[in-house]
Amino acid sequence: MSATQIDGANGANGQVLQCWSCQGPVSLGLSFCPTCQAIQSPRQTEIFAQLGLEPTFDLDFSQLEKNYFSLQRTFHPDSFAAKSPQEQEYSLQHATNLNDALKTLKSPVLRAEYLLQFHGAAVAGGPEKTVNDEAVLVEAMETREALAEAEIPADIESILTRAGDGIRDCTTGLSAAFADGDLTAAAALTLRLTYLVKLNDEAVQRARIFSRGT
């Protein structure tokens, strides 16, 4: 059977689609046909909703993980290994979406960028990667230089501390900015956080090289 969608139905109210397997009606929010239980192609593109959460910067991570595991139990291709190719394909799409949504939600930078887009704000340093916040720019250049010149582990330690403090400040600030709906502040903090996380990663990398002595 072909996976047809009734255009009229879709256009008429956008709520009812046709099940590819039993050809019956399936309301938009459902991942399994209520009649024949066949898995449907993923329709939810909003990633907080994909993981059963409200869109917020202050995530309940244990709830996120709980929902993720329970959804993967339902959708993972391992549960469809003995099913038809169409069902395997849809399960793969669902599981892929869940993994990619989890990745975005777990990272403060990606989560903040996603929320900015979700609320219709432009992401600073987005595709064009232009940094127009002078303070951030200067801070970034200085710490980069310090990292490049670091000669003893203690130098890196102090950069790591600085990055860690900055990341904490940013996330605290972001949670307040999103709560107040201040997207301009959120965008600026997201930009600073992006560079701090990158700095932190590079410093960790350097520290690892130092500790190995190569």
Partner 1 sequence: MTKPCNVPASFPEALEAGRIPMAPLQIHEPGKTPLPHAEDQVAVGVDLGTTNTLIAVARNGRPEILRDRDGQALLPSLVAYTDQGILVGKPARQALLDDPHTVVASVKRLMGRGAENIRAVAGSLPYDIEPTDENAGDRMVRLRVGGRSLTPVEISAEILRAVAARAEASLGHKVNRAVITVPAHFDDAARAATKDAAKLAKIEVLRLVNEPTAAALAYGLEKGAEGVYAVYDFGGGTFDISVLRLQMGVFQVLATGGDAQLGGDDIDHVIAEHFMQERIASLGVSTLTAGEARMALMSARLAKECLTTEVTGNWSLDAGGEQSSHDLDRPTLDRLIGPMVERTIDHCRDVMAEAGVTPKEIQGVVLVGGSTRVPLVAQRVAEFFDTEPLVDINPDEVVALGAALQAEALTVGSDQLLLDVTPLSLGIETMGGLVEKVVRRNTPVPTAQYQEFTTYQDGQTALMIHVLQGERELVDQNRSLAQFELSGIPPMTAGAARVRVTFMVDADGLLTVRAEESTTGIQQEVAVKPSYGLDDKAMAAMLRASLENAEGDMAARLLRESKVEAERIALAVDAALIADGDLLSDDERAVIDGFLIDLRSAVVADDRDTVEASAAAINDGTSEFAQRRMDRGISEALTGVALSQLSDTVDSGAKT
Site for partner 1, rule CB under 8 A? 1, 6, 9, 12-13, 15-16, 18-19, 21-39, 44, 46, 49-50, 52-55, 67, 69, 71-84, 87, 91-92, 95-96, 99-100, 102-103, 127, 204, 208, 212
* Residue 63 C-beta: closest distance to partner 1, Å: 10
Long-range pairs, 168-171, Cβ under 8 A, ≥24: 170/108, 170/196, 171/108
Whole-angstrom Cα distance, residue 121 to residue 187?
8
Which C-beta is closer to partner 1: that of 33 or that of 147? 33
DSSP β-bridge partners for residue 39: 32
Q: Between residues 100 and 165, which has the closer beta carbon with respect to partner 1?
A: 100
Return the number of the residue (108 or 136) whose C-beta is nearest partner 1.
108
What number of other Cβ atoms are within 10 A of residue 68's Cβ? 20
Q: Which is nearer to partner 1, 103 or 138 (CB)?
A: 103
DSSP summary character for residue 79: G
Q: Show the tokens assigned to 92.
A: 């793969």
Q: Which residues 6+ apart lie within 8 Å of 78 measured at CB? A: none
Task: Tell me the closest approach of the beta carbon of residue 72 to partner 1, in angstroms.
Answer: 6
Q: Cβ of residue 138: shortest distance to partner 1, in angstroms?
A: 28
Question: Smallest distance, Å, CB 211 to partner 1?
Answer: 8
Give 61 or 69: the residue with its C-beta nearer to partner 1: 69
Q: Give the nearest distance from C-beta 99 to partner 1 in angstroms.
A: 5
CA-CA distance, 107 to 167, in Å (whole number)? 12
- Measured from the CB of residue 134, what is the shortest distance to partner 1 in angstroms? 26
What is the secondary structure of 16-78 as a DSSP string? EEE-TTT--EEETT-SB-TTT--B-------HHHHTT--S-SS--HHHHHHHHHHHHHHH-GG
Residue closer to partner 1 by CB (options 135, 181) is 181
